[in-house]
Amino acid sequence: MRFYILAVMFDSFYITLLNLTKPKFGRKAMLLTLHYICLTEIAFYMLLACFFSAFASQLNIGKISSGKAIIISVLCVLFIYLKNWMRYNGKRRNILNAKSKKHKLQAWKLIAVPIACIVMAFIFYQAI
């Protein structure tokens, strides 16, 4: 159930940004929006990873090596990018656009979400 809520949140971010950028950028708006949603999702999961890593270090739970952590991070980034590329390509985007309510998020909120996630991730990273 929780992952469904995250998916709906990222879907609303995607469709709102697409509707905001499409009049200015045309077809390039889809690629720009795809990169934005990937960055936002990666920043959110980076925040979660740093939080749990800081939590585990405070409890003196065993850690994995930095090489393995880098490999896992790169694989997660590739997975997120490919998942979003397949998810928001074609039919799904049209369905989301048709189902979207006219209630839009403001542009500053769309920009603030990934920035806040990255800043908070660095704060948690300092606690490791």
Please state, rounded to an integer, the average pLDDT across all residues of the chain. Answer: 87
Query: What's the CA gap between 40 and 11, in Å, rounded?
Result: 11
Q: How many domains does the chain have?
A: 1
Full-model pTM: 0.85
Q: Do residues 117 and 47 touch, judged by C-beta distance below 8 A?
A: yes
CA–CA separation, 102 and 59 (whole Å): 46
- Determine which of 1-5, 47-51, 101-105 has the lowest per-residue pLDDT on average: 1-5
Distance (Å, rounded) from C-alpha 29 to C-alpha 50? 31
CA distance 14 to 26: 15
What domain range includes position 104? 2-126
Percent of the chain with pLDDT over 70: 95
pLDDT at 1: 55
pLDDT (tens digit per residue) in 25-60: 998 999 999 999 999 999 999 999 888 888 888 887
Examine the pLDDT at 18 and tell me if it is beyond 60: yes
